[in-house]
Amino acid sequence: MATAGKVIKCKAAVAWEPNKPLVIEEIEVAPPEANEIRIKIVATALCHTDLYHLLESMQPQGFPTVLGHEGAGIVESVGPGVSEYQQGDKVIPLFISQCRQCHFCKSPRSNQCSSIFSWISRHDAMAPPTSRFTCKGKELLQFVGTSTFSEYTVVNEMAVAKIDPMAPLDKVCLLGCGICTGYGAAVNTAKVEPGSTCAVFGLGAVGMAAVMGCKAAGAKRIIGIDINPEKFEKAKVFGATDFVNPKDHDKPISQVLIEMTKWGVDFSLECVGNVSVMRSALESCVQGYGVSVIVGWTDLRDIAIRPNQLISGRTWKGSTFGGFKGRDAVPQMVKVYMDKKLMLDEFITHHMTLDQINDVKTIFTTTQYGVFYVPHTS
CATH number, domain with residue 293: 3.40.50.720
Structural domain range at position 255: 182-319
Q: What is the mean pLDDT of residues 189-199?
A: 98
Q: Does 187 fall in a domain?
A: yes
Same domain, 69 and 19: yes
Q: Is residue 325 part of a domain?
A: no
How much is the average pLDDT of 99-109? 96
Q: Are residues 191 and 142 in the same domain?
A: no
For residue 331, being part of any structural domain is answered with no
CA-closest candidate to residue 268, choices 362, 186, 347, 335: 186
Task: From 197, 191, 296, select the one nearest 241 (Cα to Cα).
Answer: 197
Mean pLDDT value of segment 346-370: 76
Tell me, yes or no, whether 158 and 190 share the same domain: no
If asked whether residues 64 and 198 sit together in one domain, one would say no
Same domain, 235 and 106: no
Residues in Cβ contact with 260 at an 8 Å cutoff, skipping those fewer than 6 apart: 223, 242, 244
Q: Between β-strands 65-66 and 291-294, what pairing exists: parallel, antiparallel or unpaired?
A: unpaired
**What's residue 367's pLDDT?**
55
Q: Is the pLDDT of residue 366 over 70?
A: no
In whole angstroms, what is the distance from residue 114 CA to residue 124 CA? 18
Poorest-confidence range of 13-17, 18-22, 121-125, 302-306?
A: 121-125
pTM of the model: 0.95
Q: What is the CA radius of gyration of the chain?
A: 20
Residues 192 and 235 in one domain: yes
Q: Is the pLDDT of residue 363 over 90?
A: no
235 and 154 in a common domain: no
Share of the chain above pLDDT 90, in %: 81
The CATH number of the domain holding residue 358 is 3.90.180.10
Residue 256 to residues 30, 94, 252: CA-CA distances in angstroms?
55, 38, 7
Q: What is the pLDDT of residues 48-99, one digit of tens each?
A: 889 888 888 878 899 999 999 999 999 999 999 999 999 999 999 999 999 9
Residues 112, 234: one domain? Answer: no
pLDDT over 60 at 378, yes or no: no
Mean pLDDT of the chain: 93
Measured distance between the N- and C-terminal CA atoms of the chain, rounded to whole angstroms: 12
User: What would the mean pLDDT of 256-273 be, rounded to a whole number?
Assistant: 97
Structural domains of the chain, count: 2
Which residues lie below 8 Å from residue 312, measured CB to CB, with a gap of 6+? 287, 288
In terms of domains, do 272 and 307 share one?
A: yes
Per-residue model confidence as pLDDT tens digits over 272-307: 999 999 999 999 999 999 999 999 998 888 999 999
Judgement on whether residues 220 and 301 belong to the same structural domain of the protein: yes
- pLDDT surpassing 70 at residue 308: yes
Q: How confident is the model at residue 123 (pLDDT cuts 50, 70, 90)?
A: low
Same-domain check for residues 75 and 201: no
pLDDT in the model for residue 256: 98
User: Do 217 and 156 have their domain in common?
Assistant: no
- The CA–CA distances, whole Å, from 78 to 31, 71, 354 equal 8, 18, 25
- The answer to the question of residue 270 being in a domain is yes
Strand segments (E) across the chain: 8-15, 23-29, 36-45, 65-66, 71-78, 90-93, 133-135, 138-142, 152-156, 160-162, 197-201, 221-225, 242-244, 267-270, 291-294, 315-318, 351-353, 371-373
